[in-house]
A and B are shown apart, each in its own frame.
Chain A
Amino acid sequence: MSNILLLLHPTVVTDQHLVESIKQNIKKSNPSDYHLEQHIIDRVTRGDVVLTHNSYDKIVYINPNEDHQNIPVSLMKHLYETLVDDGELSGDLPTDQVLDVLMTGFIVSDSDNKTWIKPKPVESVSIPLKKKTAAASVKKLPAFKKLGVVSSPSNNSAVGLTDTSASNTDEENEEANAMKRKLDDTKLTYFSDSENEEDSDDNDDIDDIINENDLISESNSLGLRANLIVPKACELPSGKKRRKACKDCTCGLKEIEEQEESQQRSLQDSILGKMAQSATLEAIKIEERLKKQPVKFTDEDLAEIDFTIQGKTGGCGSCALGDAFRCDGCPYLGLPPFKPGEVVTIDSLGEDI
């Protein structure tokens, strides 16, 4: 009995008839006994669905949307791993990702160009570092993977240090560790010892350095651009619209902001003016009273010396708390917080009125 994995694009799932006809097609081309498992592509890409390695004989990939034909490299690798040897991936496969396909290790079928096959591993002897005893192990095909990179048009990397198909198993035996240390040592020889390379680097022959601008076109051919993360909704999570003028705003938002700022400053002026006025009045009153009867201040008197008559805590109760708590359009915005009954001083930071 063969295992078939059917991967569907989310838009396909919504169409019951389409899904049925796809399944019928599978039935037609696979007359014998088979087990069919079905998942949505995105869920596999995200890792929400975990597929067992080496378990499917066939994967059918359905993505009829013309715009989104590209398969992320991570998914491609994952699918490769879930196929058994000689397993096939077919369906709506992209035609412009050949390099990625080969790098992943697939072989593109000669017969129809539309099926990707996971080749059978071949016996190979590992190419040990220098004269390390050959711990012969079964390896995957030396993989197009890195070779693919090397043969890519503008690649400038030297050939690899190791047989890159060495599998990353959990065998934490000493030999592996020793091997890793040795590999690390080899890698480290590429790093210069002096931290301060700047001066020596000025003498570097220009031929030894890749032109960094070439990397931009290379990023396309490596397929890195096909798989970038983009945010979901076109609004902030809170549902509010973003309101911020760009540095070179031309839509007028910047002018609105500037206008708001100047309005705010005149609001502040009027508030400070009123406070100064009422403070003077208070002072005169108190002085007069003191002349009449020089007594101690009572609590009541002290409460009277309240320069923030306009609103001890402000109308909404938050004005006194500082900008972090003030409403939009609060006249106190931009002024420091104050305790109810305290003078608002703008020089509480010592300068710059």
Chain B
Amino acid sequence: MKNYSSNPRCVTILYGTENGNAEDYARLIAFKLEYLQLKPTLAALDDYPLKQLVTETDFLIIICSTTGQGELPRNSKKFMKFLLKKKLPSDLLNHIYLSTFGLGDSSYTMFNYAIRKLQTRLVQLGCEELSPGCEADEMSPQGIDGFYTEWESQLISSLQKFFPDLVALDEEFLPPPKNEVIALEESPDVDTVKESDIISQSRKVSGDTSLKFGVLKQNLRVTSEDHFQDVRHVIIESEDLRYIPGDTVSLYPSNDNQSVELLIQSQPHWKPFADKPLVIEGELPRIDGGLIDKKYITLRSLLTHHFDIMAIPRRSFFCKLWHFGDSSTEDGQREQEKLREFSNFEESEELYNYANRPRRSILETLLEFQENLRIPINYIFDLFPVIKPRFFSIASRPSPTSVELVVAIVEYKTIIRRIRRGLCSKWLKSLHEGDKLLFSTQKMNMKFSLPQVPNPPIIMVAPGTGIAPMKSLIEYVSESDIKQELYLFYGCRYKEKDYLFSELWDGLTSRGKLHNFPCFSRDADSKIKYVQDNLFHEYKLIGDLILNKNALVFVCGSSGKMPKQVKLTFIEILRKFGDLEEEKAQKYVFDMEDNGRYREDVW
């Protein structure tokens, strides 16, 4: 076995993540490997320069979750697209030893498909096994953690054989920061609060032209005031926009000044430097949408625009944080031990009950421990996760000058007394009409036609804010010359409170442009409550559309029960209408999925 000890940089850890889980595990393994004196490169699959697979990588570790219908997460599609090229030779990557870890949920039929696709293709391209792969199951009693610990221990013992000369470091030791941060103490303060919005719009990625300036034209609550949920119909005006139904917009939210000030106050040694210009050394982690303009970079502006202090602290966060505890007093020692416990797999219940379940934020956590916690400025890039853009389905027909969104404001209660608010929700709520903001659009390449059938009928199933892409599609089709029959199954709670865009639907229906089937789950007089009940009620129509008219099905809304039950309903409808056996009906729907006739867009 070749000895790689002289090249501790040749390990690469790549992750594909939708909600940050896979990223957390990737950070954990990266941190762990640093204690073996390895210097792994950590990046999202799509952020890694592909050529470095040849020039820099001998050991490849991939951690990836599976989304929707067995697809790869958003930040790994480009990587996969490259791998799928047929012209690649079967020994392209034969210098690489590979180990894969997938995060999935076995209640979905396409359980862990993403990691399976990656692993298979990489093996086809010559990768050798470093240690066996793992397909973790959220539904198992051990949870993802149980799979991870087992996979990690095998991976590490395999790696150690290739790096026999490297000695593991003591856990008490904290590796030096990746991005040295130096405050220019002699320079005058930079006021980043007054010009906060200008600073937020100074983000840039060199060469990336996808960022657009927009003006907020409308930020209107469209649910009634007495409804529990605040849903906004947002209109942004801009120019040179190019999008089609199904595409998305990403927004780049910032933290509010008050939260940032609280955090700075909790770290008194930060105060003298909070508004000094900063110099950041080393290669910065990739930030979606780019870093704010250099001249505005201070501790305060970084905390405001780039570090996600409202995120729930992850295990990888505590892995670093406990090192900053001051254990010189009894209190400090107790607190440090607690922070360390949260970083531990043996106590995963503790962390879950403390952070995940009540949705506690990083800010709240730091405030609770502030008395005995001293976070060196140097480590901020290592410690804090960066704010990720938020994605929304576009709700308007293609237009070069404006784009519409439907945004549910996230607010809820847990045992923590303060109301939980989503970072983006809070930010969006604070925006006024006329405010400028940055955004970008993403192509999703959704197709609403079939190879043999140019304009098949479309059955749209859209509870709640799942209506957004449907509105785009309906407006697009109904105002063009395309002859395509549209069937909308919309579901919400009350006809009078949260039936979004009802006038639009009524108008289109009366002009014969739309077949509208709304249902209301909480209205006393509603007989049919849920979209799936309504579909089943119309089984003759639906069955005929699918079996005889090549209809497409498009489901959009919150993940969880709804998409599963809707799919089961379609299977039942085919059984009843087409007199098919259960297996055949099931296969029919699965085939529809494979052929792009049944699409889910759930979150």
* Residues of chain A from 176 to 220 with CB closer than 8 A to chain B in the complex: 184, 187-188, 190-191, 195-198, 201, 207-210, 212-213, 215-216, 218-219
Contact call A47/B161, Cβ cutoff below 8 A? yes
Q: Which listed residue (B140, B158, B560) contacts A47, Cβ 8 A?
A: B158
8 closest Cβ contacts across the A-B interface? A231-B146, A334-B415, A160-B91, A248-B560, A157-B90, A219-B120, A229-B134, A248-B561
Contact call A323/B360, Cβ cutoff below 8 A? yes
Contact call B150/A230, Cβ cutoff below 8 A? yes
Residues of A within 8 A of B287 (CB): none
Residues of B within 8 A of A257 (CB): 357
Q: Does B584 contact A (CB under 8 A)?
A: no
Smallest Cβ-Cβ distance to A170: which chain B residue:
B2
Q: In the complex the two chains form, what is the Cα distance from A225 to B564 in whole Å?
A: 26
Contact segment of A8-16, A260-268, A292-300? A260-268
Give chain B nearest CB distance to A252 CB in angstroms: 15
| Besides the known contacts A215-B117, A247-B559, 17 further A-B residue pairs in the complex with CB atoms under 8 A apart | A46-B157, A209-B84, A209-B86, A216-B116, A224-B133, A225-B116, A235-B142, A236-B146, A240-B349, A243-B349, A244-B143, A246-B138, A264-B415, A322-B368, A324-B368, A351-B418, A353-B417
Residues of A within 8 A of B360 (CB): 323
Q: Does A341 contact B (CB under 8 A)?
A: no
Contact segment of A54-62, A117-125, A148-156? A148-156
Residues of B within 8 A of A1 (CB): none
Q: Which listed residue (A160, A248, A336) contacts B368, Cβ 8 A?
A: A336
Contact call B2/A161, Cβ cutoff below 8 A? no
Contact call A161/B141, Cβ cutoff below 8 A? no
Contact call A170/B347, Cβ cutoff below 8 A? no
Q: A168-B2, A234-B142 are in contact. Are A242 and B54 (CB under 8 A)?
A: no
Smallest Cβ-Cβ distance to B157: which chain A residue:
A47
Contact call B51/A191, Cβ cutoff below 8 A? yes
Q: A157-B89, A187-B54, A248-B561 are in contact. Are A334 and B126 (CB under 8 A)?
A: no
Give chain B nearest CB distance to A15 CB in angstroms: 28
**What's the interface size class on B, roughly?**
35 or more
Q: A215-B117, A336-B368 are in contact. Are A346 and B418 (CB under 8 A)?
A: yes
Q: Does B73 contact A (CB under 8 A)?
A: no
Residues of A within 8 A of B184 (CB): none
Residues of B within 8 A of A236 (CB): 142, 145-146, 346, 348-349
Smallest Cβ-Cβ distance to A160: which chain B residue:
B91
Contact call A210/B86, Cβ cutoff below 8 A? yes
Q: A208-B86, A323-B360 are in contact. Are A74 and B157 (CB under 8 A)?
A: no
Contact call B124/A155, Cβ cutoff below 8 A? yes
Contact call A208/B87, Cβ cutoff below 8 A? yes
A interface, CB within 8 angstroms of B: 46-47, 72-74, 146, 149-150, 155-162, 164, 168, 170, 184, 187-188, 190-191, 195-198, 201, 207-210, 212-213, 215-216, 218-219, 222, 224-225, 227-238, 240-244, 246-248, 257, 260-261, 264-265, 268, 321-325, 333-337, 346, 349-353
Q: In the complex the two chains form, what is the Cα distance from A291 to B135 in whole Å?
A: 74
Contact call B346/A158, Cβ cutoff below 8 A? no
Residues of A within 8 A of B121 (CB): 210, 212, 215
Contact call B154/A334, Cβ cutoff below 8 A? no
Residues of A within 8 A of B140 (CB): 231
Among A216, A227, A230, A268: residue with most chain B CB under 10 A = A230
Among A47, A149, A187: residue with most chain B CB under 10 A = A187
B interface, CB within 8 angstroms of A: 2-3, 49-51, 54-55, 70, 78, 80-82, 84-92, 94, 107, 113, 116-117, 119-121, 123-126, 129, 131-135, 138-143, 145-147, 149-151, 154, 157-158, 161, 207, 258, 262, 334-335, 338, 342, 345-349, 352, 354, 357-358, 360, 364, 367-369, 413-419, 443, 559-561, 564, 594
Give chain A nearest CB distance to B179 CB in angstroms: 22
Residues of B within 8 A of A156 (CB): 86, 124
Q: Which listed residue (B84, B138, B416) contacts A334, Cβ 8 A?
A: B416
Contact call A149/B90, Cβ cutoff below 8 A? yes
Contact call A324/B117, Cβ cutoff below 8 A? no
Smallest Cβ-Cβ distance to B139: which chain A residue:
A246
Residues of A within 8 A of B157 (CB): 46-47
Give chain B nearest CB distance to A137 CB in angstroms: 17
Q: In the complex the two chains form, what is the Cα distance from A210 to B157 in whole Å?
A: 35
Residues of B within 8 A of A215 (CB): 116-117, 120-121
Smallest Cβ-Cβ distance to A156: which chain B residue:
B86
Q: A229-B154, A353-B417 are in contact. Are A324 and B560 (CB under 8 A)?
A: no
Contact call B149/A237, Cβ cutoff below 8 A? yes
Give chain A nearest CB distance to B497 CB in angstroms: 22
Give chain A nearest CB distance to B264 CB in angstroms: 14
Contact call A337/B142, Cβ cutoff below 8 A? no
Among B3, B87, B139, B415: residue with most chain A CB under 10 A = B415
Smallest Cβ-Cβ distance to B72: which chain A residue:
A212
Q: In the complex the two chains form, what is the Cα distance from A349 to B368 in whole Å?
A: 11
Q: Which listed residue (B124, B141, B207) contacts A218, Cβ 8 A?
A: B124
Contact call A158/B90, Cβ cutoff below 8 A? yes
Smallest Cβ-Cβ distance to B50: which chain A residue:
A191
